Structure 1
Amino acid sequence: MELIHYCLIALVTLANAQFEEPTAAPVLANITLSKGDIQVFSGEDLMTTCSVPEDRSSSWRYKWFRDGAEIGLDGFREIRIELSGEYSCQAEKDTEKRPFVLRTLPSLPLNLRVDRGWVLLQTPATPAIIDDTVILMCRIRNNPVAREVCFYKDASEIQCHKSKLLILTNVMLEDGGIYWCRASWMQGNELHSAQSVPTPVTVLDKLNTPQLAIVSGQIVLGQEVHLRCNTQLNVKGEGLHIEYYYMKNNSWLAPSSSSNTYTIRNVQHQDAGTYTCKAKVRILDVERWSNSLELKVH
């Protein structure tokens, strides 16, 4: 009977395993535009491409999503205003081993904006980083020759000329904001003028200012306390990593660490005080200090 019992357990386990949900491959699908731009006029054509960077094989199948709902298209002819939204894709393929179907993680979103007007401002698809060069283009529907193009940031005029491009070099955080443009052009014997919809331009620091926070709840004598130094490195590159330093009452607590968490194992009254942390990236020669955090022990 005991042998039969173990056999039944094995059969049930095997049967359940047959219906296990396929697990995700540890890679991200990548969605790109092979034709068009993320900011387009209604009536223009677009073509999206989904790929798996770590595996270029042709056995992948692709799914497409808009605002989280699955759709069946990877391209658009004469795109309409209502097709604006957040697009992503996911890849899957059959395998000979369990779980028999391998799925990637969904791609990062691609935000598509369809403009029904006569003038639109094309901005970078991703946030700029300090010291980057940012190129803004003031497009006119059907691409006539511009007579004059003026660029604005918030409520201030930046420049007016005949070029449809505004090039911002070595951008700083203060270069972020709301941009728009106004263009004029001749059509037949008539002068036309229109302005774009205001569009945000984001500039990020290379390393975000850290925020020091207490992970634990109420700080009670003898409890383990975790202080977390939350930041983000916005620059990608080989060998880049963040070093963390912690201070209490302006005195260093420990050598640099690769961990963003400082732990007090058995908190005592003498651990009360003002804490700060510093995040540093040596290769970039960048460091940022956090806020001050008051730790009280009850």
Structure 2
Amino acid sequence: MDTVISLLVLSTLAQHVVSVVPTVTSFRAILEKVSGDSRIFSGEDARLRCSIPDIHNSRWDYLWFRGSEQLTQTGEYFVLWNAGVRDGGKFYCKGVRDTAVGNIYTLQSLPVEINVDGGWAILQVPPHPALVGDTLKVTCRLRRNFPIHEVILYKDGVEVMRQRGPNPQFYLTKLTLKDKGMYSCRASWDANGRTHSVMSADTSVQVLELVTQPVLEIVANNDQTPAGWMTLICHLQYNARGPAPPIHYYFYKDDKRLGTATSENHDLVRQSPGQYSCKAKVPQLDITRWSEPKGFGEVAGPQTRRPLVVHRKVPWPLSPQVSSPSFSMLPPAESTMARPSPHQSTVASSFIQPTEVSTQPSDPPLKPAQPTPSTVPPPVLSINQTATPTRDNSAFLSQESGDMSGESGDMLEESGDMSGNSSETVTH
């Protein structure tokens, strides 16, 4: 009898152990584009690769998704062969491994978007957002190697640049936040005594600040903060490309600095009524950003506002600087600030970066971060620093002499007519 009872206990324990084995790992699959651009012409190819950051080098199989649809391919690589307009979308992958207790899955990768364009022109832009102060290179790419003699760049339907000759590339220098928007291009060429032109679909251009304006959070009177104390947290986004120089944090009460600079975005201080603020500074980039003041307790007297931005004086070479090539045989691109476009006849925006000068006193050298109580968790050391100890925290084809028409998707060519419209571009 004792033997039977022991066997039953062991069987129950085994079932209990199996039931609590997790089916999802804590690491995320990584999806990257191996070949092809984020926007390709119909009939072209694109290749993606899924990798699993498993330090144990376990054997993984792969699941592929387009949106919510699971695809049939299961290998490490996913290939779009001879892509059609409907084959584009946002692609994901994740790993799966067969174990003795069932399938184990990784977290799904971040998406990679591929747009398939059925038109004749594509405006190619870098896949990642540009940063303030950068130089952005964009290219007006055509489906065929037409002998173009003029290329025009538009922003939000307004012509901003025009250049004559076969060069299809434009350079937007000293970017500011005003430069983000929807861009398109038009290319023209002569053939058989007629002038032809094609225009791309709109493509999104994103421009980010290196350091966003901080937002101060005051955390007091909770289980993770000692009685009579409160935590000041300086939230911001730091978008510098690696290796990024260090960022220093300063905390203030009523315009008086509390302690010294710290490499952490939080500080533990005694509760006291007043106006609190924080400052983020990147000395190597000569960038300083202030938060808006935030009151705690009963505050008397007028509230003051801090200067918000101090831009760097000298461009920081974190991202590769793109210099315009020399075209000795070609006329340079001309600005078209006053030339009307076929979309609108308004003046195009210029690409000028404003500069302000901080009036704050210089800061002492950085000192090690102040120790914080064990009850206050460390900040999240990521690009988006939002740590908090209280919560988880088409194209159309026209000709001047003759008719040309078409629609998005399949392309038709009949008796010299050319057609095709490009699909809209949606960007992250």
TM-score with structure 2 setting the length? 0.58
Structure 1 residue aligned with 2:23:
22
Q: 2:258 aligns with which of 253, 259, 278?
A: 253
- Whether 1:195 aligns to 2:199 is yes
Could you tell me how far apart the structure 2 residues matched to 1:114 and 1:55 are?
36
Could you tell me how far apart the structure 2 residues matched to 1:83 and 1:215 are?
49
Return 5+ residue gaps in structure 1 as ranges: none
Q: Deviations over 1:5-55 (max 9, x none)?
A: 9986765443233242334253x4332222321111223222222224676
Shift of 1:151: 0.9
Q: 1:164 aligns with which of 165, 168, 171?
A: 168
Shift of 1:180: 1.3
Q: Deviations over 1:30-82 (max 9, x none)?
A: 32222321111223222222224676969332221222432224212222222
Q: Deviations over 1:122-179 (max 9, x none)?
A: 1111111234332211122234232311112232422223311112344333332322
Change (3 A) 1:70 1:282: farther
8 A Cα contact 1:87 1:109, kept in partner: yes
Q: Deviations over 1:273-298 (max 9, x none)?
A: 22111112344443211122222359
Q: Which has the higher contact order (CA 8 A, sep 6+)?
A: 2
8 A Cα contact 2:22 2:104, kept in partner: no
| Paired residues for 1:156-235 under 5 Å | 156-161=159-164, 162-186=166-190, 190-215=194-219, 225-235=230-240
Shift of 1:232: 1.4
- Whether 1:152 aligns to 2:154 is yes
* Letter of the structure 1 residue corresponding to residue 112 of structure 2: L
| Secondary structure, aligned partner of 1:137 | strand
Could you tell me how far apart the structure 1 residues matched to 2:18 and 2:54 are?
28
Could you tell me how far apart the structure 1 residues matched to 2:147 and 2:16 are?
66
Q: Give the RMSD, CA atoms, in angstroms.
A: 3.5
Larger strand fraction of residues: 1
8 A Cα contact 1:122 1:136, kept in partner: yes
Structure 2 residue aligned with 1:237:
242
8 A Cα contact 2:24 2:107, kept in partner: no
> Identity over aligned residues, as a percent?
33
Return 5+ residue gaps in structure 2 as ranges: 300-428
Could you tell me how far apart the structure 1 residues matched to 2:6 and 2:146 are?
78
Shift of 1:225: 4.2
TM-score with structure 1 setting the length? 0.80
Could you tell me how far apart the structure 2 residues matched to 1:281 and 1:15 are?
55
Could you tell me how far apart the structure 2 residues matched to 1:281 and 1:99 are?
50
* Letter of the structure 1 residue corresponding to residue 234 of structure 2: C
Change (3 A) 1:232 1:3: farther
State which structure, 1 or 2, has the greater radius of gyration over its C-alpha atoms. 2
Structure 1 residue aligned with 2:281:
280
8 A Cα contact 2:150 2:163, kept in partner: yes
Change (3 A) 1:164 1:246: same
| Secondary structure, aligned partner of 2:237 | coil
8 A Cα contact 1:21 1:99, kept in partner: no
Structure 1 residue aligned with 2:110:
108
Change (3 A) 1:226 1:72: farther
Could you tell me how far apart the structure 2 residues matched to 1:201 and 1:255 are?
39
| Paired residues for 1:63-78 under 5 Å | 63-73=63-73, 74-78=78-82
| Secondary structure, aligned partner of 2:128 | coil
Q: Deviations over 1:70-99 (max 9, x none)?
A: 22242122222223322122234457xx87
The alignment of Structure 1 onto Structure 2 pairs a total of residues equal to 288
Shift of 1:259: 3.2
Shift of 1:246: 0.8
* Letter of the structure 2 residue corresponding to residue 136 of structure 1: V
Could you tell me how far apart the structure 2 residues matched to 1:256 and 1:14 are?
54
Could you tell me how far apart the structure 1 residues matched to 2:237 and 2:10 are?
47
